[in-house]
Chain A
Amino acid sequence: RKEVEQDPGPFNVPEGATVAFNCTYSNSASQSFFWYRQDCRKEPKLLMSVYSSGNEDGRFTAQLNRASQYISLLIRDSKLSDSATYLCVGFDPAGNNRKLIWGLGTSLAVNP
Chain B
Amino acid sequence: DGGITQSPKYLFRKEGQNVTLSCEQNLNHDAMYWYRQDPGQGLRLIYYSQIVNDFQKGDIAEGYSVSREKKESFPLTVTSAQKNPTAFYLCASSLPTSSGGSSYNEQFFGPGTRLTVL
Interface residues of A (CB under 8 A from B): 4, 31-32, 34, 41-46, 49, 87, 91, 93, 96-100, 102-105
Contact = CB atoms under 8 A, between A and B. Distances in A.
Contact of A97 (B41, B42, B56, B104): B56
Interface residues of B, number: 24
Nearest to B101: A93
Contacts of A97: 56
A64 B41 CA distance: 24
Contacts, number: 48
29 contacts: A4-B42, A31-B102, A32-B102, A32-B103, A32-B104, A34-B106, A41-B88, A42-B111, A43-B110, A43-B111, A43-B112, A44-B109, A45-B109, A87-B42, A91-B102, A91-B104, A93-B101, A93-B102, A96-B56, A98-B97, A99-B45, A100-B43, A100-B107, A102-B43, A102-B44, A103-B42, A104-B41, A104-B42, A105-B42
Interface of B: 40-45, 48, 56, 58, 88, 90, 97, 101-104, 106-112, 114
Contacts of B101: 93
Contacts of A43: 90, 109-112
Contacts of B108: 46
Main secondary structure on B side of the interface with A? loop
B104 A98 contact: yes
Given A100-B43, A105-B42, 9 more contacts: A4-B42, A31-B102, A42-B112, A44-B109, A46-B106, A91-B104, A93-B102, A98-B104, A100-B107
Contacts of A91: 102, 104
A104 B41 CA distance: 6
Contacts of A99: 45, 48, 58
A91 B48 CA distance: 15
A30 to B, nearest CB: 8
A81 B90 CA distance: 23
Contacts of B58: 99
A15 B90 CA distance: 31
